[in-house]
Amino acid sequence: MPDTGLSRFLGGSPGQVALRLVFLSFVVGIILAALDLDPLDLVHMAVDFFERLWNMGFEAIGRLGRYLVLGAVVVVPIWFLTRLLAMGRPKQ
């Protein structure tokens, strides 16, 4: 695939970047939702979350979406700013 302007701006192919952002958004969303917990409680929360996910079915999908959006609110603007700032630097 040729090195298009869009790929240079995104830092990779759009599909790879989207997948990376979805993953990071989900991880950050879980962390932000659990900021008031100590690490052991976070482990228990993760185990409980997957148990609830298994037991609740489709209702749990909404919970996953909430974590995704919560993380994306932080991850996407930071990613966008870093891409904008990187445009101003000469390529090495």
Residues 31-88 have pLDDT tens digits of 877 786 555 666 787 888 888 777 777 776 778 888 898 999 999 999 999 988 888 7
- pLDDT at site 38: 55
* Confidence category of residue 23, pLDDT binned at 50, 70, 90: very high
- pLDDT at site 84: 87
Domain assignment present for 92: no
Burial class of residue 22 in the structure, from the number of CB atoms within 10 Å of its CB (0-12 exposed, 13-18 middle, 19+ buried): middle
Domain assignment present for 91: no
Domain assignment present for 13: yes
Domain that holds residue 41: 5-86
Total domains present in the chain: 1
Domain assignment present for 18: yes
